[in-house]
Amino acid sequence: MDSEKLNEQWARVRTQIMSYPEVNSAEISAFFSRLEPQAMSDSFLMLTAGNEFIKTWVEQHYLSHIQRALLDLHGVPFAVAIAVDPAQEARATGTPAPQAATPPAPAPAAAVSSPAAPPVSSAPSAPVAAPAAPDFTPTPSAPTADQPFAAPTMPAVPENPVAPASATPESIPTAAAETTEPQPDNPASALTFSNFVIGESNQMAYSLANEVAGKPGRTIFNPLFIYGKSGLGKTHLMRAIQNYIDKTQPHLRTVYADSADFLSKYMEASVAHDREKASFKNFKHYYEEADVLLIDDIQYLQNKKQCLDMVFQLFNSLTAQGKQVVLSADRAPKNIDVDERYSSRFSSGGIVEVRPPDIETKLAIVKRFADECSRNEGFSQCAIPDDIQMYIAENSSSNIRELLSAVSNVFYRMVFSGQSDITVEGARALLENHFSGSMARNLSVEDIQREVESFFKVSHADLISNKRSRSIAYPRQIAIYLCRQLLDLPYEDIGQKFNRDHSTAIYAVTNIETRLKKEREVQEEVETLQKIISEL
């Protein structure tokens, strides 16, 4: 089959899978774009992935869907094999392909389970000499009632048929994917790539985090800066990077630090320096020895000049050695109140935003968390009805923690109150004061003016003056817009607070609304101010 026809057939398979109601379209977009069809016969399809993580993830989550789509389209069961081709990832990222890579030992042949069966885990095998090209002649086996999409029996497939035999383990471009969830006492160990729900709002951040976890230290993504509002999954991605590297590349030392904890340890080391001269040196040495350093909520170090200088020294030292640095914040580097030399260096690698999830993504998160609770928390006798899951997704804010807390509250009510038949009305009454989507609190125009003045560093006198310079007019329009959105006051009342008439207030709101649709910088500044004001 020529390449054009092969790609057409693969496109049909993808379209068919997207038609299944249970699939996550964002996951399909994120992962299937990283697969390439290589060969296809009457009952066999060969695909390649750019790295081991993509291969294993698709095998565990979507191989049965691929087989189902092939059966639906062609009427016969198909064997599907996925191999790793590092050159494919090099083409996609524009980086040089590795000169050598070690193929793991061929995997034993196995039937692919039905969609209801648990995912099959795999582990990296010891390197062996490259095998000869395998004979991909499938022997179909008839589907059964219990396993309608069983894979035909087929010979073992080398995971990397294109790699030469002279490679060493260190030359493998990405480590093997997670196969089991780690279960130590640290709750952060449960934050992995496999249980991160992917949607359009976080797909790019997920992809870049995965790239960094597979190949830490690449210049193009060093540092990796992840930003977004609180509760959207930044820490989950940071911990997923750490856990992935710890599991698959244990020779690398990863260090995760929350900025508040980093500041606390820095202060302790500084205070102890007078008593023990080595304390500060030991503090610095702990982070300098990291192969991968992850610092969460870097915006917390605003106005902490000495501590920020220490972070900057560590940053420069590690990146100069080709070691990976990952930072996160609730805003983009340029909007963090730090010296320009810091923000420019923080922006020198990959920058990616985690945006608020849409309804579909929130619903997927609710469903996955509800399933986990049923399996792991003793709630197997309960199932949250679909209409209540949708109610939670529609009424929660973008904060994922609030979303999960709502699910937990419903579960506890169902289990401990015996209300297994809870209705939407019951859930609404239970969660009446849970969601924080509205700002029903004692907030005034003066509160908003004060926070806008502080954010943009303008005086109150200038904000309500007749000055029309952009440095004054833009913050003024933002403040007027926020007053309208958060307080829902009449335009005339808002105008009076800014020494303006109602028509000027209308123009300010309209102008900001128009810019919000087109300018990401305006969106980010408004979102940041809304977060600040919501915490008053």
Q: How far is CA 465 from CA 242, 266, 499, 507, in A?
A: 51, 43, 7, 17
- Nearest-angstrom CA–CA distance, 221 and 318: 14
What tokens were used for 342? 């810091």
For CA atoms 151, 154, 160, 162, give the dihedral sign.
negative
234 is in an annotated binding site: yes
**Was 231 annotated as part of a binding site?**
yes
Run of H or E residues at 36 = strand 35-40
**403 within 8 A of 373, measured Cβ to Cβ:** no
3-state secondary structure of 221: helix
| Residue 275: how many other CB atoms lie within 10 Å | 7
CA distances (Å), 535 to each of 230, 338, 460, in order?
12, 22, 21
| Three-class SS state of 84 | strand
Burial string for 84-100 (b: 16+ CB within 10 Å, else e) reads bbbbbbeeeeeeeebee
Three-class secondary structure of residue 438 per DSSP:
coil
**Sheet order of strands, 79-84 included:** 35-40, 44-49, 79-84
Any binding-site annotation on 235? yes
Q: From residue 259, how far is each of 269, 310, 329, 345 by CA, in Å? A: 15, 12, 10, 18
Cβ count within 10 A of residue 351: 18
User: C-alpha distances in angstroms, 443 versus 257, 322, 439, 501?
Assistant: 35, 49, 8, 22
Judge residue 470's burial from the number of C-beta atoms within 10 Å of its C-beta, 0-12 exposed, 13-18 middle, 19 or more buried: exposed
Q: 3-state SS of the chain: helix, strand, coil percent to 5?
A: 50, 10, 40
Angle between the 520-534 and 502-518 helix axes, to the nearest 10 degrees? Answer: 120
Distance in angstroms between the alpha carbons of the first and the last residue of the chain? 64
31-55: b (≥16 Cβ within 10 Å) or e: bbebbbbbebeebbbbbbbbbbbbb
Q: Which residues are annotated as a binding site for ATP?
A: 231, 233-235
Q: Which residues are annotated as a binding site?
A: 231, 233-235
